[in-house]
Amino acid sequence: MAIELHYTPIPFDDTYVLYNADDIFSLLSVFFTLLPIGILVFYLSWFLTTREVEPVIMAAGQVVNDIINNVAKNHIKQVRPYNFEGFQASGLRSGYGMPSAHSQFMGFFATYLILRIWIQWKGLSVLRKIISTISLGALSWCVMYSRVYLYYHSVPQVLVGLGIGTTLGLVYYFTIDVLRSIGLVDYVLSWGLADWFHVKDSCYYEPLSLREERALWLNRREITKGKKKSQ
C-alpha cells in the first residue's frame, strides 16, 4: 500500500543537478558544479583536524557572500537561460540567475586564498605560489564553465558573479587583516570557548609540506625511542 504524503517534497537544490546523461562533459560539469559543497566540507575538516580559526573566518565570509548574492538576485530578477521546472521554486534561495552564486562563491574563495598565499605565507617559494594561483584560477574557471554548460547560467551571469565574489574576497581579506593587526582575533581566541576547543591562529605561517611533516614525525619517533632506552 502506497503511503500518502501530506506535503509536497522539494529537492535540495544545492546538490540537485540536472545533466545530459549522454554527454561526458555534462557529467564532468556536475562534479565541478558541486565543488563549492566540497569546499564547505573542506572548511569543516580543516577546522576539526587543525583547530585553526582561519576556516571559521573563511566560512563566515562565504555566508555573507551568499546573503549578498541572494539579495542581488532578488533585486535584479534576471531569469536563467533555461527554466528548469521547480528549480529553487519553494526554497530559501532565489531562483533567479543574476549573479551566479557558484561563480561568486569561487571568486571569493580564490581571491581570499590567493591573497593569503602571496601576502601571508612568506615561506613559500615563488614557484609554489604561482602554481597555487593557477590551480585556484583553473578550478574557478571550471566551476563557472560548468554552470554555463549545464544551462543554469548565462556567460554574463557567471562573469558578474565572479566580479562580485572577487571584490568581496578582496575587501573581506583586508578587513580581517586589520582586525588581526588590532588584536581583535587574538582577543576572541582568549575566550574560554576558544580555549575549550583548542582554537589557534597560525595564519602567518605557511602550511607544512609532506616532507616537513615526515621530518617532524621522524624526530618525535627518535625522541620516543630515546626515552624508552633510558628507562
215-231 residue pLDDT tens: 888 888 887 776 666 66
Between the two ends of the chain, the Cα-to-Cα distance in Å is: 71
What's the average model confidence in pLDDT over 188-206? 84
- Overall average pLDDT of the 5-14 stretch: 65
Which pLDDT score is estimated for 67? Answer: 92
Please give the grid coordinates belonging to residue 120: 601571508
Contacts of residue 55, Cβ cutoff 8 Å, sequence gap at least 6: 42, 43, 44, 46, 47
Query: What's the pLDDT tens digit per position in 25-83?
Result: 988 988 999 999 999 999 999 899 888 888 999 999 999 999 999 899 888 888 888 76
pLDDT average, residue stretch 129-136: 94
Task: Kindly report, residue by residue over 80-129, the tens digit of the pLDDT.
Answer: 887 666 555 555 566 777 899 999 999 999 999 999 999 888 778 899 89
pTM of the model: 0.80
